[in-house]
Amino acid sequence: MGQRFNTRTVHFQSKDVARNMSKAQPIYQTSAFTFKDLEDMESFYQGEKEFLYSRFGNPNTEDLGKGVAAIEEAEDGVATSSGMSAILAGILAVVKPGEHIVASEDLYGGTYQLLAVELHNLGIEVNFVSFESIEEIKSAVLPTTKLIYTESVTNPLLRVENLEMVKEIADEFGLITMIDNTFATPYLLQPTTFGADLVVHSATKYIGGHSDVTAGVLVGKKELIEKARGKVVSLGCNLSPFEAWLACRGLKTLSIRMERQSKNALALANALKSNEGVLKVYYPADLSAKGNGAMVSIELDQTVNVEHFFKSLEWIKIAPTLAGVETTVSYPIRTSHRTIPEATREKLGITEGLVRISIGIEDELDIIETFENAIAKAKG
């Protein structure tokens, strides 16, 4: 009981030990916990009690962190206020001012901004290089390098990272590895099984799954998570109990959502490959035996008017985020990657014709027909 993935996603939460023995996990919507006397309060500081103040920890946030750790096959996990705060906590647990990071150049725009600007202001330097070149990665390593950072499936061009290669380079130079596994999810891929030290998720996306929560989760080796948890507490990156509860509720249906969404994504990718209005379809291959994920990116032909295309999508919503049960589209050059330097965008292939599609759980034929119709209407 509880050993296989689908079971762990449903039965990861701690049992309710309150008098009422609620079947659903209660929401511990409290800023603090009370004690019988000073000796009882001291027991928290001695490690005998789990909770004192919800910035330090809460049953709901603990459920989320440890629940994702369980399905990622990691030693421990901590929940945070967003995917970005989870990334920051993980990095600061490893890297200090004066030290250095090697990062993949094809990252989510928000992550790129954090690494290139905010970490620079903290005295931490980052080199962005192509992770398709082993030599380029190795040549970027400095004596001060502590961390190698990438995404298991990159945003928005959906390149599948060679995690075995990343781990081999990290071992050669004695580096910590940190992998953003948001797009793949633990359902399709578990980077810890490839030796990753830290794995991060924007739980806002597939873990929450319903576009109604902002949260992050960092999992990995216990000693690193303990350091990261200290950063979460000190920097106020904690997640609220209610949002943790929502994310936990979403996590329970991760398997069935990803199964359906991945199937729909494959169908759309295959359909658009032969569409005259599409120059290129970006969709992972051989990511997992369970599927290749629920994200598809397309490069529209120059004969397709991008503005008209977005206006012709009928029930499909335009959104700057992804991974809900509804199919949505985004325009990376104006949203997720607008802060990346233009020369870098051009080098990576993030062009004016690039559209990122987050596939939902609707009927696959409705999804395909809507995109085909929108392309046809926008084609000059």
Q: Rounded distance, CA 87 to CA 94, Å?
A: 11
Tokens of 306: 């991008």
Q: Rounded distance, CA 137 to CA 186, Å?
A: 26
In 10 A of CB 192, how many CB atoms?
Answer: 23
**Strand, helix or coil for residue 189:** coil
342 φ/ψ angles, rounded to the nearest 5 degrees: -55, -40
Q: Rounded distance, CA 346 to CA 63, Å?
A: 42
Residue keyed to tokens 């490839």: 194
Looking at residue 1, what is its pLDDT?
43
CA angle, 253 then 258 then 259, to 5°: 105
Q: Rounded distance, CA 239 to CA 197, Å?
A: 23
Tokens of 237: 């990156």
Out of 167, 205, 229, 356, the active site residue is 205
295 φ/ψ angles, rounded to the nearest 5 degrees: -110, 135
Looking at residue 380, what is its pLDDT?
74
Is 205 labeled as catalytic in the residue annotation? yes
**Strand, helix or coil for residue 50:** coil
Out of 49, 53, 55, 317, the active site residue is 55
- Residues present in the chain in total: 380
In 10 A of CB 2, how many CB atoms?
Answer: 9
Out of 63, 76, 106, 180, the active site residue is 180
101, 91 Cβ separation under 8 angstroms: yes
Is 108 labeled as catalytic in the residue annotation? yes
136, 130 Cβ separation under 8 angstroms: yes
**Strand, helix or coil for residue 126:** strand
For every residue of 306-354, DSSP letters joined together read HHHHHHT-TTPEE-SS--SSS-EEE-GGGTTTTTS-HHHHHHHT--TTE
Residue keyed to tokens 């032909």: 301
Beta strands per DSSP E along 56-185: 76-80, 100-104, 125-129, 145-151, 176-180
What does each of the 380 residues of the chain score in pLDDT, given as a tens digit? 457 888 889 888 876 666 678 888 899 999 999 999 999 999 999 988 889 999 999 999 999 999 999 999 999 999 999 999 999 999 999 999 999 999 999 999 999 999 999 999 999 999 999 999 999 999 999 999 999 999 999 999 999 999 999 999 999 999 999 999 999 999 999 999 999 999 999 999 999 999 999 999 999 999 999 999 999 999 999 999 999 999 999 999 999 999 999 999 999 999 999 999 999 999 999 899 999 999 999 999 999 999 999 999 999 999 999 999 999 999 999 888 888 888 888 888 899 999 999 999 999 999 999 999 999 999 97
For every residue of 237-261, DSSP letters joined together read -PPPHHHHHHHHHHHTTHHHHHHHH
Is 55 labeled as catalytic in the residue annotation? yes
Q: Which of 117, 138, 137, 118 is nearest to 128 (CA)?
A: 137
Pairing of strands 328-330, 354-358: antiparallel
What is the torsion angle, in degrees rounded to the nearest 10, for the CA atoms of residue 307, residue 309, residue 314 and residue 317?
-70
Is 363 labeled as catalytic in the residue annotation? no
> Domains in the chain, start-ordered, CATH in brackets?
5-251 (3.40.640.10), 255-378 (3.90.1150.10)
- pTM here? 0.94
